[in-house]
Amino acid sequence: MEAIIEKCECFVHSLNRESQGNLAEATIIRRVGDNSYLADYNGVKCTAIFNPFTGRYYVDDIYGVIPDSMLREHGSR
């Protein structure tokens, strides 16, 4: 697993609404797969992917939330 630790403007799933922008600052903590990342958005650890066409990470803070118990088991805290 490659450590990234980068704060950036990301597309955030929960902000995907017509009335407001869906970009927010999140922290990419580490790379965990080919195009799979561990991210932190507002203190919530969740999954993210990188889209090379837009040049942005997509953070899934709805369906991709990773429970603290899982992070402790794998030593990723």
User: Residues 65, 71, 74, 76: is their CA dihedral positive or negative?
Assistant: positive
Range of the domain at 11: 2-66
- CA nearest to 45, candidates 34, 57, 24, 30: 30
DSSP H helical ranges for 1-77: 68-73
* Whether pTM exceeds 0.75: yes
**Mind listing the pLDDT tens digit for each residue in 16-70?**
766 556 899 999 999 999 999 999 999 999 999 999 999 999 999 999 999 887 7
Residue 26 lies in a domain: yes
Pick the closest to residue 4 from 30, 35, 33 (CA basis).
Answer: 30
Task: Flag whether 77 is in a domain.
Answer: no
Buried-state track 42-57, b at ≥16 Cβ within 10 A, e below 16: eeebbbbbbeeeeebb
* Tally of domains in the chain: 1
